[in-house]
Structure 1
């Protein structure tokens, strides 16, 4: 796997996994945070997940911008010459979109952890 492919697949596969892992760990950390009456563990998990999501999203968007600036092969009606470049561009755009969506999800979950008390039932 090349670095260019990793940029795209990291956003497509790792970001949803990171968001799910963050949600699981944050849910598991709530009883401890309520017991010690502090939310620093929830905030630390949120910051780590948000940074990982932002980095992977930026890598995917960098690959998208690189592909948009790359000259495309001239395609005719009977030719599939532009298909690989178009496919790579689509995958990079999808990766950037998935990364942006899950970054927003993690950010909103952090906002909820910031506003609400861990002991709120």
Structure 2
């Protein structure tokens, strides 16, 4: 059950931390006329979230093979499915926050 927690808890926290760090990097990026630090931060955050999601997905696939008919044994599989969905949603949010960096300059006010 441990492989689920990074995707379930850390991926959404990673998205929030990424947003906060990107806001903090706007002024230095505008001063340097470079979005390199913002791009690297977004890429690293997205890759880490996808890694967490992949680990949860592999755990969910492993648990799918050992499903029984009672509800108690179905709980770990359900938790793994929820972790995969939360991880995917967080990854989608991180990607969506990365797109404007390709289009809009940090100096636009």
Q: Where on the TM-score scale, by shorter chain, does this alignment land: which range?
A: over 0.9
**Does residue 1:100 correspond to 2:88, yes or no?**
yes
TM-score (norm 1): 0.86
Counterpart-to-counterpart distance in 2, 1:6 and 1:89 = 12
**Does residue 1:113 correspond to 2:109, yes or no?**
no
Identify the residue that residue 15 of structure 1 maps to in structure 2: 11
Counterpart-to-counterpart distance in 2, 1:116 and 1:27 = 14
Q: Which ranges in structure 2 are unaligned for 5 or more consecutive residues?
A: none
Q: How many residues align?
A: 109
How far off its partner does 1:40 sit? 0.2
Identify the residue that residue 27 of structure 1 maps to in structure 2: 23
Counterpart-to-counterpart distance in 2, 1:84 and 1:7 = 19
Structure 1 runs of 4+ off > 6 angstroms?
Answer: none
Q: Which ranges in structure 1 are unaligned for 5 or more consecutive residues?
A: 76-81
